[in-house]
Amino acid sequence: MINGFTKIAVATPLTSVADCNKNAREIIDIINKVSTENVEILLFPELSITSSSCGDLYLQPFFIQKTEEALQEVIAASNSVETIITVGAPVKHINKLYNCAITIHRGSIIGITAKNQLTTDEKRWFSPANSLPIGATTTLCGEERRIGQRIIYSTKEYKFGIEIGDCSKTPEAASVYLTTGGADIILNPTATRESTGQHRSIIDYISTQSRRCICAYAYTNAGYGESTSNAVCSGANAIYEDGIELASSPRFATKSQYSITEIDVEKLRKERIANQNAANSNKESCETIHITQATYTNSTLTRTFDPTPFIPKGANQSADYEEIFMIQSIGLAKRIEHTRSKTCVIGISGGLDSTLALLVTAKAFDILNKPHNEIIAVTMPGFGTTGRTYNNALNLMKNLGVTMREISIKAACTQHFKDINHDIDTHDVTYENAQARERTQILMDIANQSAGIVIGTGDLSELALGWATYNGDHMSMYGVNASVPKTLMQHIVRWIASNSNKEISTTLLDIVETPISPELTPADEQGNIKQKTEDLVGPYELHDFFLYHFINYGFAPAKIFAMARKAFEGTHNEKTIKKWLTTFFRRFFTQQFKRSCMPDGPKVNSCNLSSHGSWIMPSDTSYNLWIEECEKL
């Protein structure tokens, strides 16, 4: 395991019915292949040594003896690899036969998990696991080992349990007991016969169960070689993590196949800690077998990571954007109603943040059946305002039918610079922040005049970086964008544009394409934006990626760096990622004091930095541990 990831493989060998020796060779061939990729866990299907279609041959002592000899070959082959391997075979205990998953490591059997939920046909040959006496052991391949149903296999870095075939369909599935007992990963070897809709039902179960149990769920089914008489096996396999598919193979392949990915065990454990319902309430119903497994130090990540984790994906994307927009709007509507505000006052720059804030405010007024002209939108040109943002601000306000006001801040700021003896040609932090505070003062005073409240425009990304002027744009009576990151904001505005008339849509799309800037320093000679935020603090797509994984899962810099390298491969190089990751942690910790007194705002996703319960951290927390790890990358 590196950075909390456990590499796992699920395989479907090309088995031959009752040819145990051939099946063992197929299994060994896959073991040798996947071991070169530093796989830590390898799962084969149910009854993979014999095939699952042997019928009454299971009752022949000769066949069981040959099965054990073939299993011994697999055990011997495992001695040269560090991979923990699970294969399927019939196993005797006293005078009964059990359908079992046998876990092997470094040339030895570790434990034997028996199947409990048997089909009608299986009951002809096998006994259910619950018929085993408590603490049962059996001798297999010369080793006396524990045999049971709810066994958790534990290494120093992860834990896994096994439920076989239709055990997954019982009201009290073994996976529930195993995960509440501490298993991070559930292995499900099956030999399920295909029928219309059967595979979809299985995948739905795997996805649901992995989310319900906050675990990884690895499934593999018998394949082409098992198809005989009236039965067909698809050979499909899949690996899910907390409801999300990580890897899968095609159905109905006519040769051996396997899928490899990494399970984020650290993430799963963090989620369980946050979810008190995942407590180890059934720990006493499981037993644990410990495995000493060496750690692969040169393993590489093969799974991919979403570079924009805040952005909704899939067919319901449009509905997700609408939901976020409505949460923002309903939150503001309630604040307006509660404070009995006659107006809302909002500064409009022609930039992305104030645009979405104005759109949310307009929707809140629609919800309250209030006319848009009771919204006072103020554009406040300064020393860095460009024609592009100025005109977009005017067009947006006009098309939304709000009350428009224009108040230049140049004269007031010029006088202020004289009062504090600051050179107006020195474009430093004083020069910039004075403008931001002047604008906030104007908005606050207009709100007093009109019995209204000031609507904050700052977003989640800016709050994470502290990219806001303290007691300037940092302050408002309600911050509608407070939990909306910059990358998500762009998509929401595009979605609104797609559902608006041509005039509004044209303006909104141009706003989305405008470089992000506070416009606090003069434009260039051509009148274009010169001060670009992402040149100063780094790309927001990187910072949003860092923020998502740091806040939601508490990942360390080294892990976030490794994931970012995969997510932004071909877009940002390692040097760039390291630079801005270091910047992120430095700014995040030093700017907590701004978040400790931030205004209220609606929570739209799991990642929120409100000091009112969502994110609690002392304002003077040291960042040394995080920066030191960044420097080692």
Q: Could you tell me which of 598, 481, 587 has the C-alpha nearest to residue 533?
A: 587
Percent of the chain with pLDDT over 70: 96
What's the pLDDT band for 510 if we cut at 50, 70, 90? very high
Higher model confidence: residue 606 or residue 114?
114
pLDDT of amino acid 562: 95
Domain ranges of the chain: 5-290, 317-632
What's the pLDDT band for 299 if we cut at 50, 70, 90? confident
pLDDT of amino acid 236: 87
Instruction: Check pLDDT > 90 for residue 233.
Output: no
pLDDT of amino acid 527: 73
Q: Give the position of tokens 């300064």.
A: 382
pLDDT in tens, 435-478: 999 999 999 999 999 999 999 999 999 999 999 999 999 999 99
pLDDT of amino acid 107: 96
What's the pLDDT band for 613 if we cut at 50, 70, 90? low
Cα 227-228-232 angle, rounded to 5 deg: 40
Q: Could you tell me which of 369, 366, 359, 361 has the C-alpha nearest to residue 332?
A: 361
Query: How far is Cα of residue 485 from the mean position of the Cα atoms in its chain?
Result: 16
Q: Could you tell me which of 177, 186, 242 has the C-alpha nearest to residue 212?
A: 242
Domain 317-632 architecture:
3-Layer(aba) Sandwich (3.40)
Least confident range from 428-437, 515-524, 619-628: namely 515-524
What's the pLDDT band for 586 if we cut at 50, 70, 90? very high
The average confidence (pLDDT) of the chain is 92
Cβ-contact 432, 325 below 8 angstroms: no
CATH superfamily of 5-290: Carbon-nitrogen hydrolase (3.60.110.10)
Instruction: Check pLDDT > 70 for residue 281.
Output: no
Least confident range from 20-34, 244-258, 347-361, 484-498: namely 244-258
Instruction: Check pLDDT > 80 for residue 298.
Output: no
Q: What are phi and psi of 460, to 5 degrees?
A: -60, -40
Q: How far apart are CA 193 and CA 199, in angstroms?
A: 9
DSSP track, 175-204? HHHHHHTT-SEEEEEE-PPP-TTHHHHHHH
Beta strand residue intervals within 56-148, DSSP E: 84-93, 96-105, 108-114, 137-140, 143-148
Q: Could you tell me which of 516, 483, 429, 439 has the C-alpha nearest to residue 599?
A: 483
- The 8-class DSSP code of residue 297 comes to S
What's the pLDDT band for 315 if we cut at 50, 70, 90? confident
Cα 298-300-305 angle, rounded to 5 deg: 155
Q: How far apart are CA 112 and CA 104, in angstroms?
A: 9
Q: How far is CA 55 from CA 121, 174, 278, 524, in A?
A: 9, 26, 41, 82
Instruction: Check pLDDT > 70 for residue 503.
Output: yes
Amino acid at 10: V
Higher model confidence: residue 114 or residue 614?
114
Q: How far apart are CA 478 and CA 601, in angstroms?
A: 6
pLDDT in tens, 344-393: 999 999 999 999 999 999 999 999 999 999 999 999 999 988 999 999 99
Instruction: Check pLDDT > 70 for residue 544.
Output: yes
Higher model confidence: residue 315 or residue 531?
315
pLDDT of amino acid 333: 97
Q: How far apart are CA 68 and CA 199, in angstroms?
A: 31
Average pLDDT over residues 125-142: 93
Beta strands across the sheet bearing 185-190: 244-248, 237-241, 216-221, 185-190, 159-162, 151-154, 287-290
Cβ-contact 612, 557 below 8 angstroms: no
Q: Tokens representing 219? A: 């499934």
336-343 — which CB contacts under 8 Å span 24+ positions? 336/364, 336/365, 336/368, 336/370, 336/453, 337/368, 339/453, 339/477, 341/451, 341/452, 341/453, 342/374, 342/450, 342/451, 342/452, 343/374, 343/375, 343/376, 343/447, 343/450, 343/451, 343/452, 343/453
Q: How far apart are CA 346 and CA 336, in angstroms?
A: 13
Which run of H or E residues covers position 454?
Answer: strand 452-456
Instruction: Check pLDDT > 90 for residue 2.
Output: no
Percent of the chain with pLDDT over 90: 77
- The 8-class DSSP code of residue 501 comes to -
pLDDT in tens, 76-97: 999 999 999 999 999 999 999 9
Instruction: Check pLDDT > 70 for residue 554.
Output: yes
- The 8-class DSSP code of residue 338 comes to H
pTM equals 0.90
pLDDT in tens, 244-280: 999 999 887 778 899 999 999 999 999 998 876 655 5
What's the pLDDT band for 297 if we cut at 50, 70, 90? confident
Instruction: Check pLDDT > 80 for residue 284.
Output: no
Q: How far apart are CA 347 and CA 436, in angstroms?
A: 11
pLDDT of amino acid 300: 83
